[in-house]
Amino acid sequence: MKFEHPRPRLSTVMLVYLREMRDQLRDRRTIFTIAVLPLVLYPLVGSVLLQVAQFTQEHPTSVCLIGGENLPSHPPLLAPAEASSSRALGRFADTLDEQSEGIHLVQHPLAADADPERVRAEAEEWVRSDLYHIVLWVPPGFTAAADGADQTSAASGAAALAGADALVGGESGSTAARGKSLQVFYNVASDPSRVAHQRIMRVLSAWRDQWVQERLDARGLDAAVLSPFGVETVDIAPKATRDAAFWSKLLPFVMLVWAMTGAFYPAIDLVAGEKERGTLETLLCSPALRSEIVMGKLAAVTTFSTLTAMLNVSSMLVTSLFVFRQVMPLGPDGGSMGLPPLVPMLWLLVALFPLSALFSALALAIAALARSSKEGQYYLMPLMMVSLPLVLLPLLPGTTLNAGTSLIPVTGMFLLARALVEGQYWAALIHLPLVAGVTLLCLWMATRWARRQFEDETVLFRGGEQWNLSGWVRHLWRDREGAATVGQALMCATVILVGMFFAKLVVTGGPTDWTGILQMVLLPQVGLILAPTLLMACVLTRSMRQSLRVRRPAILSLPVAVLLGVALHPTYMALGQLIQQIYPLSDAALAALQPFERIVSTAPLWQVIIVLAVVPAICEELAFRGFMFSGLVRDHGRLRAIVGTSVLFGMSHGVLQQSMAATVMGVLLAWIALRTGSILPGLLVHLTNNALSVSLGRLATSDAPWVRHFLSGDSGEPAYRLEWVLLAGCIAVLCLVYFSVVRSCEPAELGPDDGDEVNEPATAATPALAG
């Protein structure tokens, strides 16, 4: 059957785009979200912030001073008394507290025979009940103690300092010192109390300095003796970086969250909303191609996403110019909380557009899944939950733009924008190709997903039937198919990944002997990967052979697979080393691996190969290239099956560095599975690769003369000889060429490319049955 492949026409895309734009601009809700809300929201939040700030500034700190009569007369802690009542109001000496009007100081006299324990209990109660924010207790004998320290160390200025240090014992003073120390009671769980604590400690510290100063003066010592040298800090960051430090973290975050929100609501309206109103059907029976409709809608959603993000960030910047100046005082050097530098912020736009397009494509595809706008709203939160970690990751301290972070979607672009805003143009330029490549790849995949949603009649004409558990269970059993469905494949992946996650939580210590390793490998492999896979294949599908893809491949493909496993191993090792260089394992992780390697190196080789090569190869191939692949490859999902199974395969490996190598290997194994239509060749590649990995150390140290042609153990670690690496690379390429031409896969998987307008007859799942 010959299918037509018309190319999308720009004029039609523009036509759809302009209509969608006009439609959205006529929608009050859209205008409110993208234009009115940002213009009003930030000034409103700003004014509230200002008010709150004023409130906190005006809110007085209440301090209770117990035993004020025990204070020394000189230097004065308190300003001269103005009243002489028993609960006199007072204030700290002006030289100690510049903002004394913010402190509400109450003096509580201490009876000469007061029990210290009772005083302590009462003070704690007052703070706990919020009667006072802080209680300061000057115990009897405080002055004498301090003076005593002063006199016994009359000859030494430094000792005088030690004596003065004993003055403010606070919560950490030793029992002996406590009787002579001021005691400060505060509550760390209460914000006002913590603020009070900071203020009082400042006052007390200033008071102690005065004390020291006076005593040194009295002995004719220069106060400079206490600070023999000064420390001057020099921030070498360029001014642009310093000014942007805070904003370059906050603004991209705000921008991306709004780009997501700004994409989501129009996407819901333009797809789920149109489905609900019946206009999508009208559009679909016009001559516009699906790809033209998707591109037009995508462009419109991207425009709104970009506009929303830009308006929000601009409004926030402008508002913050006014608000932060008043609320937060600037550091002396224009510090980390400086005013946002406006011109560098324009770099954010560079990152905004591709990310908006990416979010828009995702939102469009997800919106297509929804039957109605209301259902679409439910999908916002999961999308946010999946995307937010990628947006939050760059905010973590220590996350910088490097080869590793460049590879992470969204995060890489975020960090690139930050580097540009901070003026690090060289770093940005170096990583630009990688970041752009990853972003474009994600964008292409998301767009493709969106387009496929528009080509899928089960998505577009989904029925509104009632779902019930018993009916669904009956349906699962009655309507079993030869292989898994996409949903069942993903379900299997979820069961495996969740199981592995909890297993990791349960297992805490590393293995100490070979039996421990046996348990550590076999239990997850058999119990958490193989068992659910076999169970699902048995219960949910009609044919275990078909759903697990256990088919007989071309006979030659089996020895070629073993050869490929051998020939590819040097490359795989090099990949592992490269990943290790970019993302080094922590010392703790390396230390944890050592006993593992030691035990494995002493265990019987045949057992090692069975446990670490044969069993994982069988279990993982049946699960990932078998059950999951058979589900994901349906309905022309070749790319979906290859990418999906390899990412899931990588995720099942736990350690990030291992996951990355496994993902790459997963792509190759999935491709071989696709080409050969069977898991067996891939299983052999997997097995050979694992077997070589676990036995390479022994091979390198063996006496066999042929080993020297391939391996050198000179550097302590077994390594392949360069000539073998090159030769093996050539052999691997030849093997791959063989797999690319071998034709033993089922025709459904190698049908014509599912480009636009290819309407392959297919059994649909539950479209609406009107008429």
Partner 1 sequence: MIEVTNLSKTYDDIGRGRFVAVDRVSFRVGPGEVFGLLGPNGAGKTTVLRILSTMLRPTSGRVRVLGHDVVTHPAEVRRQIGFVSNNTGIYDRMSAWEMVEYFGRLNGMPRDLLRERLETLFDQLRMNDFRHVAGGKLSTGMKQKVSIARALVHDPPVLIFDEATLGLDVLVARGLLQVIRTLRDAGKCLIFSTHIMREVERLCDSIAIMHQGRILDIGSLEDLRDRHGELDFEELFFGMLSRHDQAVEMA
Binding residues for partner 1 (CB under 8 A):
1-4, 6, 12, 15-16, 19, 22-23, 26-27, 277-282, 284-289, 457, 460-461, 463, 465, 467, 471-472, 475, 478-479, 757, 759-767, 769-771
Residue with Cβ nearer partner 1 (13 or 345): 13
Q: How far apart are CA 63 and CA 91, in angstroms?
A: 10
Residue with Cβ nearer partner 1 (22 or 598): 22
Whole-angstrom Cα Rg for the chain: 35
Residue with Cβ nearer partner 1 (236 or 769): 769
Residue with Cβ nearer partner 1 (156 or 766): 766
**Least distance to partner 1, CB of residue 369, Å:** 17
Residue with Cβ nearer partner 1 (328 or 764): 764
Residue with Cβ nearer partner 1 (481 or 746): 481
Q: How far apart are CA 743 and CA 554, in angstroms?
A: 8
DSSP element (H, E) containing 475: helix 469-478
**Least distance to partner 1, CB of residue 629, Å:** 21
> Which residue blocks in 7-156 are alpha helix, DSSP H?
10-25, 28-31, 37-58, 116-128, 142-152
> 660, 579 in Cβ contact below 8 A?
yes
Residue with Cβ nearer partner 1 (194 or 480): 480
**Least distance to partner 1, CB of residue 640, Å:** 19
> 628, 430 in Cβ contact below 8 A?
no
Q: How far apart are CA 124 and CA 122, in angstroms?
A: 5
**Least distance to partner 1, CB of residue 591, Å:** 53
**Least distance to partner 1, CB of residue 594, Å:** 54
The residue type found at 769 is: L
Residue with Cβ nearer partner 1 (287 or 397): 287
**Least distance to partner 1, CB of residue 360, Å:** 20
**Least distance to partner 1, CB of residue 484, Å:** 14
The residue type found at 220 is: G
> Which DSSP state fits 8?
P
Backbone angles phi, psi at 65, to 5 degrees: -105, 115
**Least distance to partner 1, CB of residue 423, Å:** 45
The residue type found at 119 is: V
Q: How far apart are CA 766 and CA 466, in angstroms?
A: 12
**Least distance to partner 1, CB of residue 266, Å:** 13
Q: How far apart are CA 300 and CA 321, in angstroms?
A: 32
Contacts of residue 250, Cβ cutoff 8 Å, sequence gap at least 6: none
Q: How far apart are CA 708 and CA 710, in angstroms?
A: 5
Residue with Cβ nearer partner 1 (497 or 762): 762
**Least distance to partner 1, CB of residue 472, Å:** 6
**Residue carrying the six token digits 């559009």:** 283
Residue with Cβ nearer partner 1 (185 or 454): 454
Backbone angles phi, psi at 80, to 5 degrees: -50, 135
Contacts of residue 149, Cβ cutoff 8 Å, sequence gap at least 6: 159, 160, 162, 163, 164, 166, 180
**Torsion (CA) 17, 18, 23, 29 in degrees, nearest 10:** 70
**Torsion (CA) 653, 655, 657, 659 in degrees, nearest 10:** 20
